[in-house]
Structure 1
Amino acid sequence: MQTKIKKVELRNLELDDYKQLKKSMIKSYPELEDSYWKEQDIEKLLDLFSEGQLVILADGKVVGAAFSLIVDEVLVDKNPNYAKITGNFTFSTHNPKGEILYGIDVFIHPEYRGLRLGRRLYDARKELCEKLNLKAIVFAGRIPNYNKYAEKLTPKKYIEKVKLKELHDTVLSFQLSNDFHVMRIMKNYLAGDTDSKEFAVLLEWNNIYYDESPQLINTQKSIIRLGLIQWQMRPLINLDALFEQAEFFIDAVSGYKSDFAVFPELFIAPLMADYNHLSEPDAIRELAKYADPIRKKFQEFAISYNINIISGSMPYLENGTLYNVGFLCKRDGTSEMYYKIHITPNEVLHWGMKGGSQIKTFDTDCGKIGIMICYDVEFPELSRLLADEEMNILFVPFLTDTQSGYTRVRHCAQARAIENECYVAIAGCVGNLPKVNNMDIQYAQTAVFTPSDFAFPSTGIKAETTPNTEMTLIVDVDLNLLKELHEHGSARILKDRRTDLYEIKKLNP
C-alpha cells in the first residue's frame, strides 16, 4: 500500500539529515551488506561538492537521495569499477573542473516508491548539469533482476529485452524511462551485488545545452509548459469515475512535462445528476460536499505526477454561504484556495451564490500566477491588481453555455494579456448534460493569449483548441520574453500608466 504524503520537499543534503538518511538507505538496499554510507563519508561529500548531494523529504522525513561527483571525462572512458570511480570511496576523483556529473548513488525508501519521487531527483540532477555547464550525466546502474535470467541470457541480451519492454528491471527500466541511454556493460562493478551478478550498465544523459566555451547561464527557469484540459461534460456515476477521468488527463499532460494542469470551471457538474429531483439551490449545495475530497485527491495527483494542478472550480459551502471556488494543488503537496469574486446574475438567481473577497497572486515554483474564474476576467481592475503583484501568467477556468458568453470571456482575456503584459490561459467545458438542470449546454474553445509585440504571435494567440471538442492544449510560454517586454517593448503599458493621476488599489489588502 502506497504511503500518503502531505508535503514533499527537494533540497540539498545537510549533515543533520544523516540519521534519517542511514535508515532509508538500509531499507532501500536490504540485499547488500553494510549498504549505507558512513557519516564521515557524507561529511566529506558535503565538503567537496555540496551542490551535488540531494535529498527528498516526505512530511519532513528523508525518504530518498541522490549523490554525485564531478569527474574527468577520461576517467569515465577508462571503464572503471565503483571503487575506482569513487577513488576507493575517498572521493578523490572529484574534480570541480571536470566535464561529467557522475552519479554515485540514488535511492528511494521502498515505502515511498511509486510516487515518482525518484524522477524528481533525476530532474534535479539534469538541472544541476545544465546549470554547471557539464557535458553529461553518467552513472553505472545495477541490473538487480538479471540473476533470474542469467542462466538463459547474456547481459547484452537481457538489456536488449529490457529496452524492448519484454522484461522489466526495477533499476534499468526506470533509468531508460528517464532519457538515459546505454553506453556499455561493465563487469565486476560492485563487489557483492549477487542480484546483478556484479554486472552494471554504464548510462549517459547528454546535456544538449553544453557549451565548450563556458558562458554565464541564466539558471532561473523561464520556459513554463501549460497543460490545459478542454473537459467533455458526460454522465459520471460517482466521484471515483470523475477521479478516473481527471487522472487520465493529468497523466497525459504530465507525460509531456507540463508544469501546470488546468481544469475548467464547474467541471464536476455531471455529479449533480443524482440531485436533479431537488431544487436548483439544494442540488448545487449537495454538489458542494465533493469539494474537500476533490482537493485531497488532487493534492495526491499533484505529488504523484509532479505537476501543479489548477482544479477549475466547484461549489463550496463556508459557514452556510455558497461560494464558487477552486484549489491550486502544488506539486510539493500543499494547496491554496481561490474564490470567484464576481458572481453572474444567473448564479445569484438560480443558486444563491455569493462572491469571495480574496484578491491575491499565488507563489509557485514557476513564479507568480493569478487565477480568476470566468466572469472575473471581464473586470479589468481585478487583473491589474494582480499585475501590480508581478503576476506572469493568469489562469482563467471558465464555463459558458453560449457562443456569445464565450466571446465575452475570450476577448476580455485577450485584453487582459495585452494591458497587463502577461500570458492568459483559459480552459473551458464542452458538451451537453441533458439530465442536469441549468447546466445542459456548454460552448468553449480553450486558448493561451499573449501580449501584442514583436516577440509574440502577431494575433496575440499562442495556441487554441478546436471548439467544442474534448482535447488537451499543451503550450510553452517564455517568462523572459515578458521581462524584455516590460523594459524594452514597443509599447510599455505597465510602465507608462499615469499613476500621478489615477490608481487602482485593494480596499482590504
Structure 2
Amino acid sequence: MTHDIKTVELRNLQLEDYKQLKTSMIEAYPTMENSYWKEEQIEKLLDIFPEGQLVIVVDGKVVGSALSLILDEDLVDKNHDYKKITGNYTFSTHNDDGEILYGIDVFIHPNYRGLRLGRRLYDARKELCEQMNLKAIVFAGRIPNYAKHAEELTPKEYIEKVKKKEVHDQVLSFQLSNDFHVIRVIKNYLEGDKKSKEYAVLLEWNNIYYEESPKYFNTDKSIIRLGLVQWQMRSLNNLEEFFNQAEFFIDAVSGYESDFALFPELFIAPLMADYNHLSEAEAIRELAKYAEPIKKKFQELAISYNINIITGSMPYLDGEHLYNAGFLCKRDGTYEMYRKIHITPNEVFHWGITGGDTIQTFDTDCGKIGIIVCYDVEFPELSRIMADEGMNILFVPFLTDTQNGYTRVKHCAQARAIENECYVAIAGCVGNLPKVNNMDIQYAQAAVFTPSDFAFPSNGIKAEATPNTEMTLIVDVDLDLLKELHEHGSVKIMKDRRHDLYNLKKLK
C-alpha cells in the first residue's frame, strides 16, 4: 500500500503506549486468541528490563514492537516452550547477569508492513546485544506457512525448502535474511499456534564483539558509512522510470548498511527532455513541477530502506522565484530543505535561478552534517560557519560538464576538509544527455576527502570512484578521529585562528 507518512521513530516502550500497543498486537495476530500482553505484564517488563522493550512509532501511533528478556545460556539450551521460557508469562526467568538476549515477541501492524520496519527493530536488537556485551540473540520463530505443507513435509524438510527459497514463509524467510541461523526445531512451543502446527524454529544471531567492554544503548555512532551515487545521465520516459533507477541505487547502498545516500546536483535533468521544444528557462520551470512528488517518494524510500537520503538538487519554485534546491530525507520520516546559495553565471543566464539565503547545518542520527551544492564549495565562508556549528561531514552534490569545472570542485572540497577538520563527500553525474538543451555533457569522479594528518590518508583522499563511470562508492568515516584531530593534531586549524584579528558570522 502507499503510505503518506510524516515521521517514524524507533524508541523504548513506555507504559503510556499500552493501549496503542494492544490494538496493534490484536491486528497483527488476528487468528490467535488472547494475542496481546496484559498491561500488568508490560509494566513488569518495563520494570525489569526497560532497555529491551522497543517500539516503532509512525505519526504518533505505535505500529510495531520488539520485546526481550536476558536469560541464562543454560536455560536457552534446554528444551523449552513459550510458557517455560517466560516463567509462565511472569518473566521470572529474566536475569540481568545472563548471556543471551531472548526475543519473546516481534510484530508489525499489517497496515505498515512492507516498509522494512521489522528489519529496523531487528537491527536495534542487534545493536543492543552488542552494546550490552551479550553473547547472542536467540528466539523461537513461528513458521505460519507450515500448516499448508504439513501433510507432505516434516518441519525439517520445510525449513530446508525455505532456506533454498523453494517455499516462502513470511516469518522464517525474514529471520534467515537477517543473518539468523537455525539451531533446532521445537515441538509444542506455542499453544494455539495452528498455522505453525505449534512448531517453532529456534534461531540464533551471534555477537562477534562478545567480551569487548560493554557500551550503552543509544550512544552516538563513531563509524558512519556513506553511499555516494555516481549517476549516469540517460533518457527516461517518465517519472516512474526515474524512481526505479533511484530506488535501485538506494537499495544497493542500503544493502551495505550505509547511513547516507548522496545523489548529484540536477540528476533529474533527463526528465526535461519532454520540454526541449521550450526555451531553457521555460523547460526548467516545467521540471520544477517534479520537486514535490520526488521529495515525497524519497521520504518513503528513506523510511523503507532505513537510510538518510540527500537528494542532490533539482529546480524548485517558491512563488515566482526559481531555486536550485534539494532535500535531506531522514530515515525517521522527516525532511529538511537546502538551497544552493552561490549561482553560476550559466544558471543565471540560461535558467534565471535565484540563490538561497540560508546557511544551516542539519542534525541527524549520525551527528551534525552540512550540505552545499557544487559552486558553493568554492566559497570557504559557508563551510567554516558550518564547522563552527559542529559539522563533521560536509556533503557536496555537484554537476560539472568539463574536467576544468570538476577540478575546481575537487580541490576546493579537499581544502574545505583540511581547513575545517571534517570529512567532505562529493558526488556528480556522468555521461551525455543529447536531448536536453544546456545539459549536453557531464564529467565527475565521486570521492570522500579527509583532513591531512597522521590518522588519515597521506593524500587526504579516503576513496575515489572511477572517473566518468556509473557506480556507487561505499566509504566508512570515523568521527572519533576528528575528535582526536581537534585536540591532538599536528596542527590545530580550528583552534589556532586569530579571532583577535578577524571573525566570521552569519548575517541572517
Fold-level similarity (TM above 0.5): yes
CA RMSD of aligned residues (A): 1.1
Question: Aligned residue for 2:156?
Answer: 156
Task: Tell me: CA distance 1:341–1:183, structure 2 relative to 1, closer, same or farther (3 Å).
Answer: same
Question: Aligned residue for 2:82?
Answer: 82
Pair 1:232-2:235 in alignment = no
Q: How does 1:49-448 map to 2 (within 5 A)?
A: 49-211=49-211, 214-215=213-214, 219-448=219-448
d(CA) in 2 for partners of 1:169 and 1:273? 45
Pair 1:486-2:486 in alignment = yes
Is the contact between residue 2 and residue 111 of structure 1 (CA under 8 Å) also seen in structure 2?
Answer: no
* Cα shift at 1:274: 1.2
Question: Aligned residue for 2:8?
Answer: 8
User: Helix, strand or coil for the counterpart of 1:394?
Assistant: strand
Is the contact between residue 2 and residue 112 of structure 1 (CA under 8 Å) also seen in structure 2?
Answer: no
* Cα shift at 1:419: 0.7
Deviations 1:131-161 (A, max 9, x none): 1111111111011111111111111111111
* Cα shift at 1:220: 2.4
User: Helix, strand or coil for the counterpart of 2:332?
Assistant: coil
Q: Match of 1:259, as an amino acid?
A: D
* Cα shift at 1:3: 3.7
d(CA) in 2 for partners of 1:431 and 1:141? 49
Question: Aligned residue for 1:18?
Answer: 18
Q: Match of 1:86, as an amino acid?
A: T
Q: Which ranges in structure 1 are unaligned for 5 or more consecutive residues?
A: none
d(CA) in 1 for partners of 2:235 and 2:380? 36
Q: Match of 1:456, as an amino acid?
A: F
User: Helix, strand or coil for the counterpart of 1:195?
Assistant: helix
d(CA) in 1 for partners of 2:226 and 2:431? 23
d(CA) in 2 for partners of 1:46 and 1:175? 25
Q: Match of 2:455, as an amino acid?
A: A
Pair 1:496-2:493 in alignment = no
Is the contact between residue 2 and residue 114 of structure 1 (CA under 8 Å) also seen in structure 2?
Answer: no
d(CA) in 2 for partners of 1:492 and 1:93? 54
Deviations 1:450-484 (A, max 9, x none): 11111111111111111111111111111111111
d(CA) in 2 for partners of 1:157 and 1:216? 41
Deviations 1:27-67 (A, max 9, x none): 11112111110111111111111111111111111110010
d(CA) in 1 for partners of 2:156 and 2:386? 57
Question: Aligned residue for 1:48?
Answer: 48
**TM-score scaled by length of structure 2:** 0.98
* Cα shift at 1:192: 1.2
Is the contact between residue 314 and residue 325 of structure 1 (CA under 8 Å) also seen in structure 2?
Answer: yes
**TM-score scaled by length of structure 1:** 0.98
Deviations 1:213-233 (A, max 9, x none): x45579421111111100001
Is the contact between residue 132 and residue 215 of structure 2 (CA under 8 Å) also seen in structure 1?
Answer: no
Is the contact between residue 133 and residue 211 of structure 1 (CA under 8 Å) also seen in structure 2?
Answer: yes
Instruction: Give the aligned length.
Output: 507
Deviates more, 1:390-399 or 1:217-226: 217-226
Is the contact between residue 2 and residue 113 of structure 1 (CA under 8 Å) also seen in structure 2?
Answer: no
Q: Match of 1:94, as an amino acid?
A: H
Q: Match of 1:365, as an amino acid?
A: D
Q: Which ranges in structure 2 are unaligned for 5 or more consecutive residues?
A: none
Q: Match of 1:99, as an amino acid?
A: E
d(CA) in 1 for partners of 2:87 and 2:497? 62
d(CA) in 1 for partners of 2:488 and 2:93? 47
d(CA) in 2 for partners of 1:275 and 1:216? 56
* Cα shift at 1:4: 3.1
User: Helix, strand or coil for the counterpart of 1:87?
Assistant: coil
* Cα shift at 1:408: 0.2
User: Helix, strand or coil for the counterpart of 2:451?
Assistant: coil
